[in-house]
Structure 1
Amino acid sequence: MIEVVNPTTEEVIGTVHAGTPGEVDAAVTRAAAAFPTWAATSVDERAKTVRRIAEGLAARAGELAATMTAEMGTPITFATKVQVPNPVGITDGIAEALENGYFEDAEIGNSLVLREPVGVVGAITPWNFPLQQMVAKVVPALAAGNAVVLKPSELAPLTADLLAEVVAAAGVPHGVFSVVHGAGPVVGEALASHPMVDMVSFTGSTRAGRRVAALAAETVKRVALELGGKSANVVLDDADLGRAVKIGVANAFMNNGQACSAWTRLLVPADRHDEALEQAVAAASKYVPGDPAVPTTRIGPAVSAAQRDRVVGYVRRGVEEGATLALGGPEAPTERGFHVAPTVFGDVTADMTVAQEEIFGPVLSVLPYADEDDAVRIANATIYGLGGAVFSADADRALAVARRMRTGQVDINGAAFNTSAPFGGYRQSGNGREFGRFGLDEFTEVKSIQR
């Protein structure tokens, strides 16, 4: 059995069965058998099923939010306002794409071009946005007519069981969707390497993503990867610095700093570095670690003791490499729970570890730049390319800088997240896109028929 530990209380709050390669094989076999019938279901009926999933998620919003807070420590207010509404929005967006003719055939000369499901999809999802990342894979895959076997994170498995109940209640036939809990090296690897799995979609660390891709390559599977990030928030010299820093800190610390697209690097004009650092410290000081089940708590614990220790190790590395520790540090801010002190570094250079590697905790690095070209150079100077931001009083100037950033998503002046716009990364942040019709693209094959 796998014990589920509440990272705030350090108490076991549940257990799930630890799956085996044999159970993966059984689930995949069921999926392969169920696939032809589900694939033949009309687009209209699949769209209605997706709508029912959205309704089911919305109806159980409170239970889903509370479960995520208990098993991975996300603040209940964030869970209520983001962790549940985003998946509902993603699901509605998929249904809308189907209803608006996504699967309509196209005519190109004497060719009929159509989209078909890939087949059996293996989905491997993370713990930080458990419901969102499961929904971003499972829903478009099912909507496209695929059968799905899901391996959720063993750190947040209870949310997956709730999703399975919602999917079943929506009328998805037996065998079309299955959940197999377990560790990545056991269940995840069995799924990625299974010869009857036609595609694997993975969200997690870049290191684990490389392993998934290598295993999938043996059977030439389609692979979609949403991996790590080290996103830059570029504050131009004409921007409202106070607003940019406040929004930037909130983004960097959202979900306890455990977000792959978080703006963990704050890039500011060199002559305003000290002012920006002071403002960042003032904003970050309002994030006091506490019980995430309390609505006023803005930041909760790391998901596990191992994750806490990993983040603390990076904080120590930042100090060792000469960054200015302006707030926080490696000391535990609470007696109980896997909390990390919200930390802000100043005088960070682009080659420092805290500016290069994904920390996945509440750690913000403030980097000075010389001019606009230097800011773009620093923003692009990592192996990642997932998210990013630009702040400027000139919308056209901000757009021009955003176009130069080698990253899959850029927000200008704190623009709202869009659950129908494509989400995914460049370079070692992965390949493929999620959400809306772009998410559907990942789970379909394109066929041309000449006549």
Structure 2
Amino acid sequence: MTESDEMLAIPLWINGHAYLTMAPAFFDVRDPRSGRVRRRTPLCGAAEAQAAVASAGSALPSWAARTTVERAQLLTLVGDALAGYASHFAHLIAEETGKPGEAAAAEVSDAVALLRTTSADGGAAGGIVAVVSDDAAPLLGLLQAACPALLAGAAVVLKPSPKAPSAAFALAELTARSGFPAGVVNVLHGDLAAIEGLCAATAVSVLLFTGDPALGAAVRAIAAGHGKPFRG
């Protein structure tokens, strides 16, 4: 990793803190409006996926033992914290996706509402849940899959698009500030190799996907190759 990589690379989030790794390659995150490289996404693989899954596994028993009401209260606290940083999150989303400011702000507003209102879903996945999203809605897309799973007592590994990784990392920071136990929410960066790593991890119960159907089909094929349940 070069000095430039260290300055620009966005960390993973594992076991309740930022996690730097010696990734073999990086993806340049460019502001579509200017073409300027804002940061670099580490393209991780099996080792980092396993570290994130192990973190989730350590946190799972105590998190699953909490009541639904307790878990809902923590999600609401994250929503309240997100509301306080709404402009910052909207800036990150606009900077990495090229969305107009109003559209980025609307995505954050929808994410706040989701965190505050997620209700119990009998079909939500439990255990360790991997969530993969594209860059169409880098914050809301992840939360649409993760919130019901977290409320059901699952620990999650979020895998955002390498094109728009910052909102997921900032969200993980907010979960820690809001009282989430370390390891309940983890963020793994990367592309298909990271997804392969998650699917190869036997402790992962299911892979959830939100986003473009074409990408979803590719992710589904990876999951099927490992015999991993897939929803998307």
Asked if Structure 1 and Structure 2 have the same fold, meaning a TM-score greater than 0.5 normalized by the shorter chain, the answer is yes
Quick one: higher RCO (CA 8 Å, sep 6+), 1 or 2? 2
Q: What is the CA distance between 1:221 and its match in structure 2?
A: 3.5
| Counterpart position of 2:79 | 54
CA distance in 1, matches of 2:221, 2:28: 30
Find the partner of 1:167 among 159, 163, 175. 175
CA distance in 1, matches of 2:41, 2:226: 30
CA distance in 2, matches of 1:148, 1:12: 29
| Counterpart position of 2:194 | 187
Q: Which amino acid aligns with 1:202?
A: F
Q: Which amino acid aligns with 2:100?
A: P
Find the partner of 2:109 among 75, 79, 85. 85
Q: Which amino acid aligns with 1:120?
A: I
1:60 to 1:25, Cα distance in 2 relative to 1, 3 A? same
How many pairs does the alignment contain?
Answer: 207
Contact 2:136 2:211 in 1 (8 A): no
CA distance in 2, matches of 1:172, 1:52: 10
Contact 1:71 1:155 in 2 (8 A): yes
- Residue 125 of structure 1 pairs with residue 133 of structure 2: yes
Structure 2 counterpart SS, 1:9 = coil
The percent identity for this pair of structures is: 33
Q: Which amino acid aligns with 1:191?
A: L
Alignment of 1:435-450 (within 5 A): none
1:66 to 1:7, Cα distance in 2 relative to 1, 3 A? same
What per-residue deviation string (whole Å, max 9, x for no partner) do you get for residues 316-353 of structure 1? Answer: xxxxxxxxxxxxxxxxxxxxxxxxxxxxxxxxxxxxxx
Contact 2:141 2:211 in 1 (8 A): no
| Counterpart position of 1:72 | 97
Q: What is the CA distance between 1:218 and its match in structure 2?
A: 4.9
| Counterpart position of 1:149 | 157
Q: TM-score when scaled to structure 2? A: 0.82
1:143 to 1:190, Cα distance in 2 relative to 1, 3 A? same
Q: What is the CA distance between 1:47 and its match in structure 2?
A: 1.3
Q: What is the CA distance between 1:174 and its match in structure 2?
A: 1.1
Please provide the CA RMSD for this pair.
1.9
Q: What is the CA distance between 1:139 and its match in structure 2?
A: 1.9
CA distance in 2, matches of 1:116, 1:206: 21
- Residue 208 of structure 1 pairs with residue 215 of structure 2: yes
Q: Which amino acid aligns with 2:110?
A: N
Alignment of 1:408-447 (within 5 A): none
CA distance in 2, matches of 1:116, 1:205: 21
CA distance in 2, matches of 1:6, 1:219: 35
Greater Rg by CA: 1
What per-residue deviation string (whole Å, max 9, x for no partner) do you get for residues 129-157 of structure 1? Answer: 11110111222211111010111000001
